[in-house]
Structure 1
C-alpha cells in the first residue's frame, strides 16, 4: 500500500511540476532583440562623422523628412524626427562621444505602425578604414511592437526584427549614397 501511495504522490508531483513549467513557458513575453548592421563608405571618417554626428539633421535616415533638436547637448538632448507621412519619432540622446565618433540614442515615442518596436536603443559608430574610407556600424536593441503575449503577426519578434533591419539597412545605404555622391 505504501509503494502505491508513493508512486501516486511522485506522479502527482511530476504532473504539477510539468504544469508549472508549461504555464511559465506560455506566460513568457517578448525577448530583447539585437541587430548590428554596417556599411563601408568611400569617404573620410571625419566627413562621415560630420553627417552621422549631427544631432540636428537626420536627413540620411530612411523616411525622415525633418529633424528638430530640443537642446544643444546631443548626449542628453531630445529631438523630434518628422517622417514623410507626418508621424513623429521622439528620441533622446544617451551617448555622444565625438572623439570616438559614437552617437547613441533611445526612442521615447514611436507609432508601431511606423516601426514595430518598444524600448528601442541604438549606437552608431564611425571608424576610419584607411585610404579615405570609413565604416559605419549601427547597433540596436529593442522589444517587439506588442509587449503582451500572443502578438499579432505584424508586431511579433520576427517581424519587428525584420522591420528594424530593413530600416537600418536603408538608412545606411542612404548615408553611403549621400556621401559618395558628394565626393564625386
Structure 2
C-alpha cells in the first residue's frame, strides 16, 4: 500500500471518529429547587403527600387525577393550565421519610419540552421548627436528536421544570404559612 493510501485511510478514520463523537444526542440534566416553610414538617407533608394532589398547590396544574393511590405503580394524569397532559408513574412512596419519587410515563413534548424525567419530592426538618421542601429532577430534553430547536433543547427543558417546581413550591409556602 502506498504512503498516500495509508495517510488517506488515517484521515478518513479520524474524520469518522470526530463525526461520531459530535453525534452523541442528549445528556441528562438536573434541576433542584427548595424552599423553607415556617411550619412543622408533618404539616407541610400533609399538604403534599397525596401523589395525585398536585392541583391543590401548583398553580400551573389544571387537574391531577390519579389511580393506584400512594403506592409504587400508582399513576397521575396532570393536565397543565397551558394545555397538554403528562402522565407520571409513582416509583417509591416513603411516608415515614416524607418523600416520594416518580417518573414521566407519557410525555407531551409540545406542552412541556421534556422527553423524560425522574423526580423526588421530600419534606425535611428546617430551621426553627420549620421545614425545607426539596424537589429535584433528572431529565432529558424534548428533542433527543443532535440539533434540537430552541423550544425543545436542554435549556428549554431545564427552564420548564424549574418554573414548574418554583411555582408549586412558592404556592405551597403561601398556603401552608397562611393556615
TM-score using structure 1 length: 0.87
* Structure 1 position 49, deviation (Å): 0.8
1:168 pairs, out of 165, 168, 172, with: 165
Offset from partner CA, 1:75-99 (integer Å, 9 cap, x none) = 2211112222453221111110011
Q: Secondary structure at the match of 1:114?
A: coil
CA contact (8 A) 2:126 2:132 kept: yes
Q: Distance in 1 between matches of 2:19 and 2:28?
A: 21
How many residue pairs end up in the alignment?
178
Q: Distance in 1 between matches of 2:17 and 2:132?
A: 46
1:177 pairs, out of 153, 167, 174, with: 174
Q: Secondary structure at the match of 2:96?
A: helix
Query: Which residue does the alignment assign to 1:118?
Result: 115
Query: Larger deviation: 80-89 or 106-115?
Result: 80-89
* Structure 1 position 62, deviation (Å): 3.9
Query: Which residue does the alignment assign to 2:99?
Result: 102
Q: Distance in 1 between matches of 2:68 and 2:92?
A: 15
Q: Does 1:55 align with 2:51?
A: yes
Q: Does 1:155 align with 2:155?
A: no
1:25 pairs, out of 11, 21, 24, with: 21
1:37 pairs, out of 19, 33, 39, with: 33
Offset from partner CA, 1:46-69 (integer Å, 9 cap, x none) = 111111211231121241122211
Q: Which has the larger radius of gyration?
A: 1
Query: Which residue does the alignment assign to 2:72?
Result: 75
RMSD (Å) for aligned C-alpha atoms? 1.9
CA contact (8 A) 1:55 1:74 kept: no
Q: Secondary structure at the match of 2:168?
A: helix
Offset from partner CA, 1:20-49 (integer Å, 9 cap, x none) = 222112321111111111111111101111
TM-score using structure 2 length: 0.89
Structure 2, unpaired ranges of 5+: none
Structure 1, unpaired ranges of 5+: none
* Structure 1 position 145, deviation (Å): 0.7
Q: Secondary structure at the match of 1:105?
A: strand
